[in-house]
Chain A
Amino acid sequence: MILGDGLMGQVMEPVIFPDPIDIKSLPPKDWALTGCKGRKPKAIFSMLLDLNALYNHNLHLQEKYDEITAKELRWDTAMTEDAELLVVAYGTPSRIAESAIEELRAEGIKAGLFRPITLWPFPTIPLRKLAAKIGKVGVFEFSMGQMLDDVIMAVGERAEIYFYGVPGGIIPTPSDVARFLKSSIKGDGKVGRRIEA
Chain B
Amino acid sequence: MSAEAAFKKVFGRPESLKDNYTHYCPGCGHSIAHRLVAECLDELGLRENTIGVPPVGCAVLAYNYFNFDMIEAPHGRALAVATGIKRTNPDKFVLTYQGDGDLAAIGTAETIHAANRGEKISAIFINNAIYGMTGGQMAPTTLLGQEATTAPGGRDAGLHGNPIDISAMIAVSNGVVYVERCSLASLKQIRQAKKAIKKCFQVQLDKLGFGLVELLSPCPTNWKLSPKEAWAWVNEVMVKVYPLGVIKDTTGYEDKK
Interface positions of A (Cβ within 8 A of B): 23, 33-38, 41-47, 49
Contact = CB atoms under 8 A, between A and B. Distances in A.
Interface of B: 47-51, 60-61, 63, 66-72, 85, 88-89, 92-93
Given A33-B69, A34-B92, 17 more contacts: A33-B70, A33-B71, A34-B89, A35-B49, A35-B68, A35-B92, A36-B48, A36-B67, A37-B49, A38-B48, A41-B63, A41-B70, A43-B70, A43-B72, A44-B70, A45-B72, A47-B60
Contacts, number: 50
Given A23-B88, A33-B85, A35-B92, A44 B71 contact: yes
Contact of B71 (A38, A43, A47, A49): A43
B69 A35 contact: yes
Nearest to B47: A36
Nearest to B56: A47
Contacts of A45: 63, 70-72
25 contacts: A23-B88, A33-B69, A33-B71, A33-B85, A34-B69, A34-B89, A35-B49, A35-B50, A35-B51, A35-B93, A36-B50, A36-B68, A36-B69, A38-B48, A41-B63, A41-B66, A42-B69, A43-B63, A43-B69, A44-B70, A44-B72, A45-B63, A45-B70, A45-B71, A49-B61
Contacts of B71: 33, 43-45
Contacts of A46: 72
Q: Which secondary structure characterizes the binding site on chain A?
A: loop
Contacts of A44: 70-72
A33 B51 contact: yes
B156 to A, nearest CB: 35
Nearest to B46: A35
B68 A41 contact: yes
A26 to B, nearest CB: 12
A45 B61 CA distance: 9
Contact of B69 (A41, A47, A49): A41
A41 B72 contact: no
Nearest to B85: A33
Contacts of B51: 33, 35
Contacts of B60: 47
Nearest to B51: A33
Nearest to A44: B71
Contacts of B70: 33, 41-45
Contacts of A23: 88
Nearest to A37: B48
Contacts of A37: 48-49
Contacts of A47: 60, 72
